[in-house]
Amino acid sequence: NLGIINIPVYVHIVYSNSNQNISNAQVTSQINVLNQDFRKANSDLNLPSGSTFENDATDAGIEFTLAGTFRYANSNTAWGTNNAVKSAYPPITPNTHLNIWVAEIGGGILGYAQFPGGNSATDGVVISPQYFGTTGYVSAPFNKGRTGTHEVGHYLNLRHIWGDGRCRQDDFVVDTPSSDGPNYGCPTFPTVNCKTTDMTMNYMDYTDDACMYMFTDGQRNRMRALFNNGGARASLIG
């Protein structure tokens, strides 16, 4: 029985202008969103009553503690998605800490993450500053910290809810319905693809921050399995 899992977090702020040098309050706002979303303590749960998903939101039992914030000025204005920012500013003890780089990726990309089991030199999550947290230099409709929740979901082994493929492509989670692709914006309920209602409100879809607000039991179990003895993220909790 793992109980509540606590993950210590290092945040690396890499900035080329003063906007990107986000405030400590903005950092705290993202940590707060993670703590709400992974504990089902978010106040925007809005599952249609009487719907198939009514009782499907779950408390993943994972919490996050800010362990340090690091700031680096750098004239690079777009870091891309090829881990360049991690080569410039390597992760600190990634075996025991989740490392998050807040750096402009460019191209309108919100964030990217590394799944468990990868190279420790590139382990962690990268998020562009305007999609990180809920206050300060943030940009609607991605100003509710859900890019952080989504990327940490990947870091904890969750796939996109549509499995990155057509209807029968698996996300390796039994209680998430299949779909044929991502949903965007704020879809009306029900949105039906692959003959079943899409769980567009799942953090691992591509909907707007305000329209995603849940993990399922299956996602919870998939994440928490990483922390069992010998699991790929067990070293995070010693």
User: What positions carry a catalytic annotation?
Assistant: 151
Is 174:218 a contact under the CB 8 Å cutoff?
Answer: yes
**φ/ψ (deg, to 5) at 216:** -100, 170
Burial degree of 39 (CB within 10 A; 0-12, 13-18, 19+): middle
**Encoding tokens for residue 172?**
């390796």
209 is a site residue for ligand ARG (CB under 6 A): yes
Contacted entry of ligand ARG, Ca ion, none for residue 171, CB cut-off 5 to 8 Å set by kind: Ca ion
Strand 125-127 versus strand 192-193 pairing type: unpaired
Span of 46-54, 64-72, 91-99, 205-213 interacting with ligand ARG by CB under 6 A: 205-213
Contacted entry of ligand ARG, Ca ion, none for residue 37, CB cut-off 5 to 8 Å set by kind: none
Nearer to ligand ARG among residue 38 and residue 112 (C-beta): 112
Please pick, from the candidates 42, 128, 147, 183, the single residue that binds ligand ARG as defined by CB under 6 A: 147
**Encoding tokens for residue 67?**
């362990």
E-strand ranges in the chain read: 5-15, 62-73, 98-102, 111-113, 125-127, 192-193, 196-197
142 is a site residue for ligand ARG (CB under 6 A): yes
Of the candidates 114, 234, 216, 203, the one whose C-alpha atom is nearest the C-alpha of residue 173 is 216
Rounded to a whole number of angstroms, the minimum distance from the CB of residue 105 to Ca ion is 28
Nearer to ligand ARG among residue 107 and residue 230 (C-beta): 107
CA 139 to CA 141: how far, in whole Å? 6
176 is a site residue for Ca ion (CB under 5 A): yes
Rounded to a whole number of angstroms, the minimum distance from the CB of residue 93 to Ca ion is 34
Residue nearest to ligand ARG (CB): 147
Q: 10 Å Cβ neighbour count for 25?
A: 11
Please pick, from the candidates 29, 79, 100, 111, the single residue that binds ligand ARG as defined by CB under 6 A: 111
Of the candidates 111, 101, 122, the one whose C-alpha atom is nearest the C-alpha of residue 15 is 101
Span of 11-19, 75-83, 108-116, 228-236 interacting with ligand ARG by CB under 6 A: 108-116
State the number of binding residues for ligand ARG (CB under 6 A).
Answer: 13
Please pick, from the candidates 14, 102, 173, 201, the single residue that binds Ca ion as defined by CB under 5 A: 173
Q: Which residues bind ligand ARG (CB under 6 A)?
A: 110-112, 142, 146-147, 150-151, 206-209, 212
Q: Which residues bind Ca ion (CB under 5 A)?
A: 171, 173, 176
